[in-house]
Structure 1
Amino acid sequence: MVTDPTLFRRRPGDPPPVWGQVPPRNPNFVGRTELLRALDERLGRGTTAVLPHSLQGMGGVGKTQLALEYVYRSRHKYELVWWVPADTTAQIQQSLIDLAARLGLDTGGGEAAVAVRAALEALRSGRPYSNWLLVYDNAGEPADLRGFLPVDGSGRVLVTSRESAWRTSPDSALEVNVFERAESIELLRRRGPASLTDDEADQIAEKLGDLPLAIEQTAVWLYETLMPVPEWLGVFEQKATELLSSVRPSADYPHSVAATMNMSLDRLRDTNPAALQLLRVCAFLAPKPIPRRLFYGARNIEAPQELTEVLADPIKLGRALRAIDKYALVRMDHRTESFQLHRLVQQTLKLPLGPDERDTLEHCAHMLLANLDPGDPAAAQEWPRYAELLPHVRASDMVNCYDDWARQLVTNEIAFLTHWGGYEEGLELAEYTVSYWREHLGPDHSQTLRAMLAYAHILRQLGRFRDAYDQCSEVLDILTATRGPDDEETLDARSRFTWDLRNIGELQRALEVGREVYEKYQRLFGPDDLLTIGAAHLHAVGLRHTGYFLRALEIDSEVYRRRSEMLGSEHPFTLGSRHARAIDLMEAGRYRDAMAEMEEIDHLIARTAAENSPGRLAALRTLATLRRRNGMPQEALRLSEAAWRMSLDRNGPEAHDTVCSAACHALSLRAVDDMEAAVKLAEEVGQSYLAIFGPDHSHTASASVNLAVALRMTGRSAEALTMDEAAFEVLVDRLGHDHPSTIACAVNLASDEFATGQVDAALERDAATVERCRSIFRPAHPLTLAARRNLVLDRRAKGEKGTEAELADVVRGYAEVFGPEHPATISAERGTRANCDIFLTAL
C-alpha cells in the first residue's frame, strides 16, 4: 500500500524518525521557488525526480543546494530521509551500509553486499518505513547507480547529477539553470555589504552570468573587503583578462568563477598564507567531505614551510580553517568534523600552480592520507575509515606517489574493497595500480608484487581463476628468483598459490606445494608459530581435496588444538579448523561423530557470527549433508534450503558459495523424493560449475555425478550413463582411480549400466570397485558397503546362488554403521541399489 506523505501529521520543520547524513542547511538559500514547487509536485505523485545539469555539465548552478532546501522544507512529509553521496561506488555502498545499521537490519557481520541488499529490501518492502526519500547527490552515469537504487517500493528517489543521460523524459528531469536576475540580486544583498544597492548588484550579476557559486563568492568577498563596486568591477575585469590570456580553465568551468575566486584567494594570501596552502593541498583531494582529523598528528608530514607550522600547532590549524570558512571557500559541517570544497574551487586553486609546486602539494596530500591509514583492511571495524579515504586516494592519484607508506595505503584500499565486497571498484583500482607500478616501479618491485597479490585475490572472488593463477604465478616466480624460496613473502605467495592451483583443477600439484610450504614454515619458524599453524591448515585442505582424509584429520585435529590454546575456542580460525576436522570425519565415513561435532560448531558459530556469514553458511551446508547421511532428510532439507536462500541473498546466484549451497539443497530435495525440483536445481548447479571451472575440473564432474543419480531415478538412465562416463574420465584424470569421488562415480556408473541392461558390465565394474574399496577403506566405510551391496545385486540378477546370505551380511553392516531404521539400511533390505553422492565445497 502506497502511503501519501501528506497524511503525516508532523508539523513543517519536524524531522522524520530516520534522518541520516543530510548536510547542514544553507541559511542563505534564495529563490528557486518554481523549481521547488515543481520538484515537490513530482515527488508528491511518486515520480523519481532527477536533477541533471542543463548547461553541458557546467558546475556551480546549485543542484545540491536545491535538493538540500527541498529536503529541509519537506522533511515533515517523510518517515525516513537519507542523503547518499554518489560520487563513487564505495561512497554509495557505505552510505547504504550506514542506513542498514540505522534501521537495525541484519547485515551479515558488516559484510557490504549483505548490508546493501538488506537496506534496499527494507525500502522496497516498506518495513519498517514505507514513506521514505533517498537523495543520491552528484551521481555519475545512470549505470553507476545500478544495483544501488531501490526497486519498486512506495518511497521517493531524488538524484542530482551533471550527466545529461539522466534527462530520460520531461517528467523525470528538472533542468537547474543559473539564477534569475532577481535571485542573484537577493543573494548579493543578503550576503554582501549593507551599502550594496540593487543597481550595483545588477551590474555584478551581469558580469558573473548569474552563476550561483560565483554570486555567493563575490558577496562574501565584498562584505569582507568593503571594496566599492566600481573598484571591484575593475579588478574583476583584470582577473578575467589574466585568466583568458594565460591559463585557460576547462570547458565546463566559467571564467567568472575563476576570476571571483582568485580575488578571494588573493585576499586569503595576504591575511593568512598558511590557510591558502592548506586549501591548495585540499585541492588535490576529492570534492567530498574531508575529515579534520586528516590534519591531526601530521606534524612530521613533508609540506611547505607555512603549512608545516600550521600542522604542528592545533591553534594555528583552527585559525587557518576559520579563515577558509570566512571567505565561503569551503562548506563546514561541524556535526561530522569535516569540510568540503566545490570542484570549481579546486580547479581555481590548481590553475596558477607550476609543475614543481603541484608536485609538492600533491605529495603533501598523499602523506596526509597515508598517515590516516588504519593498517588493517580485513578488520570490519576499519571499513568505514577506508571507505572515507578511498575517494581521496583516487582523486589525488595516489598511485603515482613515490612514498612506500602511500603506496601501501593504495594496496590496502584494494584489499579493503575485496573484503568489503566492492569487487568491481576494487578490480578497476587494482588493474590501474598494477599497470602503473609495473611501468614506473618495475615488475619486480615489492610494492608492485604486493599489489599483484591483492589483484589476484579480487580476481578469485570474481571467479576469474585462470587470471588469478597467472598473477600469483608471476609474483611467485619473481620472488623466488629475487629473494629465494625461503623468504617470508615468497612463502606467503606460495601459500596463496595453492588456492589458485585447486581452482584451475591442479589438486595434486596444490597438495605438493602446500606440503612444501608447511615443511619450510616448520623449519624456519617452528611448529608453534601462527604462520606455521596456518600453513598446516592449508596443507590439510590440500589433503582433504585429494582424498587423504585420515591424514587431514590428524593435522586438522592438531591445528584445532593449537588454535584453541593460542586464540581461544570461539576464534574464527579455531572454528574453521574444527569445521575442517568435522568434514574429515564425515569423509572418513564416521557420520555420527561428524554430526555431533558439527552440531557444536554450528551452535558456536551461530552465537558468535551473523546468521548469513560465510562461516555460518558453510556450517549449515555441512550439517545438512550430515543430517541427510544420518537418515534425517526433512531436517537436512530445512537446513540446506536456509543455507541456499541466505547465500542467494548475500552473494547472488552466480557466486561459488551460492552454487555450493544449491548443490547441497538439490541432494536434500532428492532425499525427500521431490525429484522434479531436485533435477531442475541440479541441472542449474551443473551449468554454474561448468561456467565457473570449465568442463575438465573435478568439481564440474562431481556435480554431474550428483545430477546423474537424479536423472536415473526419474527414468533417464541413458542420459545418466553418458553423463557418468564423461565425469568418470575427468575424475580419473584429475584425481586418480583411488580418490573417493572417483570411486563414488564408479559405483553410480555401474548402476547406470545395470539400469540400461548392461548387467555384465555392471558386474565387472562393481567387482573391481569392491576390491579397490577394500584396499583403501575400512570394511564399514559407506563407500565399501555401497559397492558390496550393488555387487551382490549384480550377481543376484545373473542368477548366482548364495547372494541372499551375502546381502544379509551387507545389511548387517549397514545396521551397525547407520542403525536399523536408517533409510540406507531399509533400502538395502529391500534389494535396492545404492547411490553415492559427492560433497561439494569451496576449494
Structure 2
Amino acid sequence: MDWDAIGAIASIVGIPVAVAAGFIQIRTQSQGQGAGKPAGAPPEKDQSVHMAESPVASIQPPLGRLPTHLHGRAEILDHLGRAITPGSGRIQVIAGLGGVGKTTLALKLAEDSRNRFAAVWWVNGADRVTLMTSMLGIAQHELNVPEPAVREAMSGRRNAADLFWNAIEQTAAGSGRLLIIDNADDPQSVLAVTGDQVADGTGWIRVSRNCSIVVTSRDRAPTTWGRLCELHLLGPLSPAAAADLLMDFVPGDSDRAAALAVGHRLNGLPLALHLAGIHIGAKSSRHRTFNAYLDALNNDFASTMREQSISPARQRADERQMITRTWELSLITLSDQGNEHARAVAGTLAELAGGQVVPMEMLCAELPTKGRRGQRAPAVDATALEGLDRMGLIDWASPSEPRGIRMHDLVATTIRQQTPAPRRRSRSSWNTALRMLTAAAKALDFRLPSHWPVWRLLVAHFEALLSTSARQPKHDQRRLLELAPPLVAMLRLSNAWQEAERLGEAAISAAGKLGRSEAIVVGVQHNLATILQCRGLYPESERLLRDVLRKRERILGRHHRETAHTRGNLAIVLTLQGRHGEALSIMKRDLRARVRLLGPEHPDTLRSGLNLADTLRESGDLDAAEQIMRDTLMAQERILGSTYPDTLVSRHNVARLLHMRGDFAAAAAAYRDVQRSMEEVLGVSHEDTLGNLHHWGVLLSDQGQRAAAVHLLEQVLDSRRQALGPDHPDTQETAKALLAAKDLPSCGGTG
C-alpha cells in the first residue's frame, strides 16, 4: 500500500489517514475478488459494513478521565442537568476556548445522568467520518437498524442522519437517551448535511422527544447553532476554584496565596491548571512548589510548558490535552474552513500585550498594501477576527472599556512562543503590530482626556513590543521608540507621573543600546524634565531642560518646533521660580517665532500666547496680560473648543485675572463655570482641577466667606497631600491659604 499517496488523498479529502486507508483497502479487495470469481458465484458481502460493525471508538463516556473533584462548575452543571430532560425542545451546546474544560463538564454531566437515561452515548465529533461511523454503529447495534440500511447509508445511497434519527423516533416512549458529541469544533463540516446549515436541524443534531443532545465545541458563534440550540459559553475558573484545583494535585503545598498566583498566571484555564498540578505534584519535577513553578513560568514560559507536556504519562496524549498545541488546533480548523488570514492575525495579536484590549484605532488602522503602491487596507482582516472570536481565541471588550478585542494572556504567550517558529513570520507579526500601534498614535491626541483610556492601552502594547524588540531590525526598534515621547507626555498630562518616569527610563535605556537614537532620548528627557516641574522640583527641571535645549538646537536646529517647545517649558519653570524677566524675554521671542513658522492660530502658537499672558499676570502687568489672554481664549474656543484642556487653562487664567483686578463676582462665576468643565473633562483629582478649586477657595476667603473657603481648601489640601506630598510647593500654598481662611471671623455665606 502506497502510504504517501494515501496521506495525500486523506489531506485533500480532509479525513484521517487510517480511515482513507480502510476505504481504499475495502474498495481494492472488492474489485480484486470480483475480477477473479467465476460466473454465477454469490456476491461478496459489502466490506463497507465493517465500518459500522467495528466502530473506530467506543461510544461509552470515558469517565476515567474525570478528576476527583470538579471545581467551579456547579451552577452550569445544575442548569444543564435540568435542561437535558427528554422532550425539552433544545439542543445544549457547551462552547468555549480550547482548554477551558468543555469535555470535563460534559463527562461529569454524563456521569450524573447514567441513572436518568436508558443509554448515554459518547461520540467523537472531531471529524465527519469518525462521527458518521460511530452514529451508524449506534444505529445498527443499539437501535437495531437493519444491516442493509446501514450499508446504504455508508455508501451514500441513503441519508445517514435521517436513518439515525428515524430510528431514534421509533424507540419506545419513556426510554430516553442522552447523546453527547464531543469536540465538534468544525460543526458545519461535521454535523451538517450537504447543502444545509447546522442551525437547520436537518443534520446529525436534531430536536427529539426521545433523545437529548449535548455538543461541545470551540465554535461559540450563536449564528452557527441557531434557535434550536441553547448556547452555554464556558469561561475560565474563578480564582478560588483555580486554586482549589491546583491544591488537589499538590496537597503537600498549603500556600494558597501562591496557588492563587499560579491560577492567575494561567488565566484560570482548567487544562493549563490540570497540567500544572500534575507537573508540580510529580516526584521527578524540578518545581515542587507553587512558588517554584510560578518563577519558572515567569522566567521561561515556553520551556516550562514543554517540560510538563512531554512527561512519559503525556507522550501519547491527544494534542487537545497539550497546552502548547491545543490552540494550534483551533487555527488549523479556521485554515481548513478557508479563513486564510486567521493565523497571521493571531500571530500579530500575540505580539501585543496579552489580556489587554487592542483598541479599534489599532485594528482599523489603514496600512500600505504590499506590492500595490498607493493602496491601503485595514491592518486586521474582519473575517479573521470573526473566526478567532468564534473559536474563543479572542473576546470583545466589555461595554465599560474602549472598543476593541483582547486575546487571553496565556493564549498570546503560547502562540508567540510556539517553537519552532519561522523567524520571518515572527518579524512580520511584530512589524505589523508596530505599524498598527504607530497608526493609532497618529490618530489620537495625547492632550485630549477623552483619548487617554485608549492611550493607556497603547502604553501596554508599546511595553509588550519593547520587551521583544531586541530580535528585530534596528530601524524597527527606532520606529518603536519614536512613540515613547507622546506616550510619556500623555502619562504626565494625566497625572500618572510615576508610570511616565518608569516608561521614559525604559525607553532611554533601550535607545542607548541602539546608537543613532539621540533625538529619541532627548524627546523623552524633555518629558521627564516637565515631570520634575510637576513634582515641584524646579531647579532640577531647569537643569535638565537647559541640557535638552542645547541638544535639540544642535540636532534639530534653533527654529524646530520641538526646540521651541523645550524653550517654552524652560520659560514656564523660570516663571515658577519668580524669575519673570528671564521668562518674559524667552516667551516673547518664542511667540514671535511660532507665529512666523506655524501661523497665529496654530495650537502651539496659542499655547505659547497662553503661557506669555500667565507670566505677564504673575509679573503684575495685568493690562498686557488681559489683552493677550482674551485674544488667545477667543481663538482657542473657536478652533479647539471650550472644553479642550488648553482652553480650560485659559478660562481659569481669565478667572484669576478677574480675581486679581478685584472683580470678585465675575471671578467667582468664572471659577464656578470652569470648575464644572474641568471635573467633567479632567476629573476631580486632576491637578488643574484642584488648582482652580484652590483659587476659588482663596477668592471666597478674600470675600470673607470663611466657612465656604475652609470647606473648599480642605478638599484641595487632602487631595494634594495624597497626590503631591506635604512638601510640594502647591500643597504648602494650599496649607497657607487654609490657615488664613481659618483666621477669618466666623461669618460669611456659602458662596
- Normalising by structure 2, report the TM-score: 0.51
1:346 aligns with 413
For 1:414-453, list aligned pairs within 5 A.
414-442=488-516, 444-445=518-519, 447-453=520-526
The gaps in structure 1 that reach 5 residues or longer are 1-28, 39-59, 67-135, 140-156, 180-186, 188-204, 216-246, 675-820, 822-843
Quote how far apart the aligned CAs of 1:366 are. Answer: 1.4
The equivalent position to 2:739 in structure 1, one of 666, 669, 673, is: 666
Quote how far apart the aligned CAs of 1:603 are. Answer: 3.0
Quote how far apart the aligned CAs of 1:254 are. Answer: 3.2
2:698 aligns with 625
Cα separation, partners in 2 of 1:266 and 1:376, compared to 1, 3 Å? closer
2:451 aligns with 382
Quote how far apart the aligned CAs of 1:381 are. Answer: 1.8
2:303 aligns with 250
Given that 1:602 and 1:616 are in contact with CA atoms closer than 8 Å, whether structure 2 keeps it comes out as no
1:514 aligns with 587
Matched, 1:556 2:607: no
Quote how far apart the aligned CAs of 1:629 are. Answer: 3.6
Cα separation, partners in 2 of 1:553 and 1:302, compared to 1, 3 Å? same
Alpha-carbon distance between aligned partners in 2 of 1:436 and 1:303, rounded to the nearest angstrom: 30
The equivalent position to 2:609 in structure 1, one of 523, 529, 536, is: 536
For 1:598-613, list aligned pairs within 5 A.
598-610=667-679, 612=684
For 1:49-64, list aligned pairs within 5 A.
none
The one-letter amino acid of 1:338's match is I
SS, match of residue 338 in structure 1 = strand
The equivalent position to 1:173 in structure 2, one of 257, 269, 273, is: 257
For 1:192-591, list aligned pairs within 5 A.
210-211=274-275, 249-251=302-304, 254-256=307-309, 257=322, 260-261=325-326, 264=329, 267=332, 271=336, 274-291=341-358, 293=360, 296-298=363-365, 300=367, 314=381, 316-318=383-385, 320-321=387-388, 326=391, 338-343=405-410, 346-347=413-414, 349-350=416-417, 351-373=419-441, 374-397=443-466, 400=469, 402=475, 406-442=480-516, 444-445=518-519, 447-503=520-576, 506-524=579-597, 530-549=603-622, 551-560=624-633, 563=636, 573-574=646-647, 576-577=649-650, 579-584=652-657, 590-591=661-662
The one-letter amino acid of 1:411's match is P
Quote how far apart the aligned CAs of 1:211 are. Answer: 0.8
SS, match of residue 250 in structure 1 = helix
RMSD: 5.4
Alpha-carbon distance between aligned partners in 1 of 2:68 and 2:378, rounded to the nearest angstrom: 41
Quote how far apart the aligned CAs of 1:362 are. Answer: 1.4
Q: How many residue pairs are counted as aligned between the two chains?
A: 470
Cα separation, partners in 2 of 1:160 and 1:433, compared to 1, 3 Å? farther
Given that 2:351 and 2:412 are in contact with CA atoms closer than 8 Å, whether structure 1 keeps it comes out as no
Quote how far apart the aligned CAs of 1:665 are. Answer: 0.8
Quote how far apart the aligned CAs of 1:655 are. Answer: 5.2
Given that 1:61 and 1:176 are in contact with CA atoms closer than 8 Å, whether structure 2 keeps it comes out as no
Given that 2:706 and 2:746 are in contact with CA atoms closer than 8 Å, whether structure 1 keeps it comes out as no
SS, match of residue 450 in structure 2 = helix
Higher helix share: 1
Whose radius of gyration is greater, 1 or 2?
2
Moved more, 524-533 or 354-363: 524-533
Given that 1:399 and 1:436 are in contact with CA atoms closer than 8 Å, whether structure 2 keeps it comes out as no
Given that 1:560 and 1:574 are in contact with CA atoms closer than 8 Å, whether structure 2 keeps it comes out as yes
Cα separation, partners in 2 of 1:421 and 1:601, compared to 1, 3 Å? same
Quote how far apart the aligned CAs of 1:160 are. Answer: 8.0
Alpha-carbon distance between aligned partners in 2 of 1:421 and 1:30, rounded to the nearest angstrom: 51
Given that 2:393 and 2:411 are in contact with CA atoms closer than 8 Å, whether structure 1 keeps it comes out as no
Percent identity (aligned): 19
Alpha-carbon distance between aligned partners in 1 of 2:348 and 2:717, rounded to the nearest angstrom: 50
Quote how far apart the aligned CAs of 1:643 are. Answer: 3.6
For 1:149-160, list aligned pairs within 5 A.
none
Quote how far apart the aligned CAs of 1:452 are. Answer: 2.8
Quote how far apart the aligned CAs of 1:480 are. Answer: 1.8
The one-letter amino acid of 1:468's match is S
Given that 1:377 and 1:383 are in contact with CA atoms closer than 8 Å, whether structure 2 keeps it comes out as yes
Alpha-carbon distance between aligned partners in 1 of 2:667 and 2:261, rounded to the nearest angstrom: 64
> Which digits, 9 at most, give the CA deviation of each residue in 1:443-463, with x for residues without a partner?
543x44333333333343344
1:150 aligns with none
> Which digits, 9 at most, give the CA deviation of each residue in 1:281-330, with x for residues without a partner?
2332222145484774456357899xx999689564257526xx65x766
Quote how far apart the aligned CAs of 1:340 are. Answer: 2.0
SS, match of residue 259 in structure 2 = coil
Cα separation, partners in 2 of 1:278 and 1:414, compared to 1, 3 Å? same
Alpha-carbon distance between aligned partners in 2 of 1:475 and 1:371, rounded to the nearest angstrom: 27
> Which digits, 9 at most, give the CA deviation of each residue in 1:632-667, with x for residues without a partner?
545543443344345556766565544332221122
Given that 1:423 and 1:458 are in contact with CA atoms closer than 8 Å, whether structure 2 keeps it comes out as yes
Quote how far apart the aligned CAs of 1:391 are. Answer: 2.3
SS, match of residue 352 in structure 2 = coil
1:771 aligns with none
SS, match of residue 499 in structure 1 = helix
The one-letter amino acid of 2:439's match is N
Cα separation, partners in 2 of 1:600 and 1:263, compared to 1, 3 Å? closer
> Which digits, 9 at most, give the CA deviation of each residue in 1:167-196, with x for residues without a partner?
xx96963736999xxxxxxx9xxxxxxxxx
SS, match of residue 469 in structure 1 = helix
The one-letter amino acid of 1:264's match is L
Alpha-carbon distance between aligned partners in 2 of 1:535 and 1:270, rounded to the nearest angstrom: 56
Quote how far apart the aligned CAs of 1:494 are. Answer: 0.8
SS, match of residue 300 in structure 1 = strand
> Which digits, 9 at most, give the CA deviation of each residue in 1:484-522, with x for residues without a partner?
322322212211122233456655432322232123334
The one-letter amino acid of 2:450's match is Q
Alpha-carbon distance between aligned partners in 1 of 2:551 and 2:728, rounded to the nearest angstrom: 31
The one-letter amino acid of 2:671's match is D
Cα separation, partners in 2 of 1:35 and 1:653, compared to 1, 3 Å? farther
Given that 2:488 and 2:503 are in contact with CA atoms closer than 8 Å, whether structure 1 keeps it comes out as yes
Cα separation, partners in 2 of 1:398 and 1:672, compared to 1, 3 Å? farther
Alpha-carbon distance between aligned partners in 1 of 2:491 and 2:237, rounded to the nearest angstrom: 22
The gaps in structure 2 that reach 5 residues or longer are 1-64, 75-97, 105-235, 248-252, 264-269, 280-299, 310-321
Alpha-carbon distance between aligned partners in 1 of 2:398 and 2:659, rounded to the nearest angstrom: 58
SS, match of residue 481 in structure 1 = helix
Given that 1:537 and 1:555 are in contact with CA atoms closer than 8 Å, whether structure 2 keeps it comes out as yes
Given that 1:303 and 1:364 are in contact with CA atoms closer than 8 Å, whether structure 2 keeps it comes out as no
Alpha-carbon distance between aligned partners in 1 of 2:388 and 2:608, rounded to the nearest angstrom: 51
Quote how far apart the aligned CAs of 1:527 are. Answer: 5.0
Cα separation, partners in 2 of 1:637 and 1:501, compared to 1, 3 Å? same
Alpha-carbon distance between aligned partners in 1 of 2:243 and 2:462, rounded to the nearest angstrom: 24
Cα separation, partners in 2 of 1:313 and 1:480, compared to 1, 3 Å? closer
Given that 1:311 and 1:317 are in contact with CA atoms closer than 8 Å, whether structure 2 keeps it comes out as no
Given that 1:386 and 1:416 are in contact with CA atoms closer than 8 Å, whether structure 2 keeps it comes out as yes
- Normalising by structure 1, report the TM-score: 0.46
Cα separation, partners in 2 of 1:174 and 1:453, compared to 1, 3 Å? closer
